[in-house]
């Protein structure tokens, strides 16, 4: 067991997204091998706090029976079982049908998934969940799910040669966050408050020359960059009407599948580069010797030619997409990406017999963790 003077914070895109509402809950009730493998990975890494990206729910986040079942019937079982008494299904914009068509085709009726306020075939697809061994302080929580994209100063809104890609009636209702931007405080064992800044920005894919998803990803990352800088965050308003960003001197961790690689991939790299260069972050974790790493990605090096080192990849396509970024005032002592090489223990959870990454066994993403000294 780890010393109680340290805590482990992790993010894990678990790829528990399904095509229909209620499908994940039904599969968990029957017994889901993929969920067993994800639970095994969680038991092996043993995070005290973990953000799960791509954990479907039905939109009614108060009804979290299948998250409870995942925790009790999968993660908590066996000699290595972990109890997460504090858990939260995060409200999301995915699959919320917009009142107008989001594309340039004004005459077309809106339909899912393309015209969701966040891309999704139903409300709750690709959602998020938080599991914690320590109390979640909901009374201090802030979310920015409804913050309008147009209200970000100098927003990187998509354009075409004819002008703005989005019509005025779209900009009047389109939020910046494709899922949610959540500031969820946690009370640590020593009484210290740690702000979990959790999100899952839009992936920079499935777009035209306007690059609407790349633009949204860029500004979703910028939101956190501005949020932790009091002098930059005055324009922000949360879902309860609160103004501004994070209080100066607060301890925080930015975590999630950020869908942005600093040197590879299809998105605008300036936003993630700017975030990783932020002086308010722990530099050793963001860019230095404590950058989370693993050896597994090297088995893909010849098949996925990239600029970035396989050492830091967190996705099976050879990209660094998943991050745990603590603030400058937090002392990090260790970190990692759990991605065993094909000849190591647990390899079957990550690789098929042909030596390619196996998504169906666990996920196409790898869990990323950082140890923090209290």
- Output the CA–CA distances (angstroms, integers) from residue 146 to 193, 215, 226, in the order listed: 25, 18, 17
229 has a pLDDT exceeding 70: yes
Q: Decide if 1 is inside a domain.
A: no
| pLDDT tens, position by position, 13-53 | 999 999 999 999 999 999 999 999 999 999 999 999 999 99
For residue 234, what is the domain's CATH number?
A: 3.60.10.10
Segment 359-372 mean pLDDT: 93
Total domains in the fold of the chain = 1
Of the pLDDT bands very low, low, confident and very high (cuts 50, 70, 90), residue 351 is confident
pLDDT tens sequence across 273-324 = 999 999 999 999 999 999 999 999 999 887 888 999 999 999 999 999 999 9
Domain contains 212:
yes
Residue range 49-65: average pLDDT?
87
Average pLDDT value for the chain:
94
Report the pLDDT value the prediction gives residue 105, as an integer from 0 to 100: 67
Task: Calculate mean pLDDT across residues 150-172.
Answer: 94
For residue 286, the SS3 value is: helix
pLDDT-based confidence at residue 2 (cuts at 50, 70, 90): very low
- Domain membership of residue 152 (yes or no) is yes
Residue 270 lies in a domain: yes
**Model pLDDT, residue 108:** 81
pLDDT of residue 104: 66
> Of 116, 61, 63, 64, which Cα lies nearest the Cα of 94?
116
DSSP type of residue 6? E
pLDDT class for 4, splitting at 50, 70, 90?
low
How do residues 85-125 score in pLDDT, each as one tens digit? 999 999 999 999 999 999 866 678 899 999 999 999 999 99
Tell me which residue range forms the domain holding 53: 6-373
Residue 322: inside a domain: yes
pLDDT value at 3 more than 60: no
Whether the per-residue pLDDT at 255 is higher than 50: the answer is yes
Of the candidates 105, 133, 115, the residue with the CA atom closest to the CA atom of residue 48: 133
Contacts of 145 (CB under 8 A, 6+ apart): 91, 92, 93, 175, 177, 179, 180, 181, 239
């Amino acid at each position: 067991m780890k010393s109680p003077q340290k805590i482990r914070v992790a993010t894990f895109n678990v790829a528990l997204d399904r095509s229909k509402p209620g499908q994940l809950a039904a599969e968990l009730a029957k017994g889901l091998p993929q969920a067993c493998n994800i639970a095994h990975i969680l038991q092996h890494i043993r995070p005290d706090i973990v953000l799960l990206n791509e954990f479907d729910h039905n939109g009614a986040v108060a009804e979290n029976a299948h998250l409870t079942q995942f925790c009790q019937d999968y993660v908590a079982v066996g000699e290595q079982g972990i109890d997460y008494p504090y858990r939260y299904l995060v409200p999301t914009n995915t699959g919320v049908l917009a009142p107008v068509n989001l594309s340039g085709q004004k005459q077309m009726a809106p339909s899912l998934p393309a015209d969701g306020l966040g891309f999704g075939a139903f409300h709750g697809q690709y959602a998020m969940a938080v599991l914690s061994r320590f109390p979640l302080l909901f009374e201090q929580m802030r979310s920015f799910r409804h913050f309008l994209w147009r209200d970000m100063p100098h927003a990187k809104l998509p354009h075409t040669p004819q002008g703005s890609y989005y019509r005025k009636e779209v900009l009047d209702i389109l939020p910046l966050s494709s899922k949610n931007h959540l500031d969820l405080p946690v009370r640590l064992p020593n009484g210290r408050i740690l702000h979990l800044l959790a999100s899952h920005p839009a992936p920079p894919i499935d777009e035209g020359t306007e690059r609407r998803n790349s633009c949204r990803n860029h500004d979703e990352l910028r939101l956190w960059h501005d949020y932790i800088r009091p002098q930059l965050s005055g324009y922000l308003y949360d879902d309860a009407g609160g103004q501004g960003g994070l209080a100066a001197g607060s301890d925080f961790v930015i975590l999630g599948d950020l869908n942005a690689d600093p040197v590879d991939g299809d998105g605008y790299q300036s936003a993630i580069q700017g975030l990783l260069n932020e002086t308010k972050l722990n530099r050793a974790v963001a860019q230095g010797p404590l950058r989370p790493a693993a050896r597994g990605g090297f088995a893909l090096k010849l098949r996925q030619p990239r600029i970035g080192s396989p050492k830091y990849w967190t996705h099976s396509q050879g990209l660094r997409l998943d991050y745990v970024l603590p603030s400058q005032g937090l002392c990090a002592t260790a970190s990692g990406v759990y991605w065993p090489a094909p000849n190591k223990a647990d390899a079957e959870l990550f690789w098929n017999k042909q030596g390619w990454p196996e998504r169906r066994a666990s996920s196409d993403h790898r869990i990323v963790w950082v140890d923090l000294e209290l």
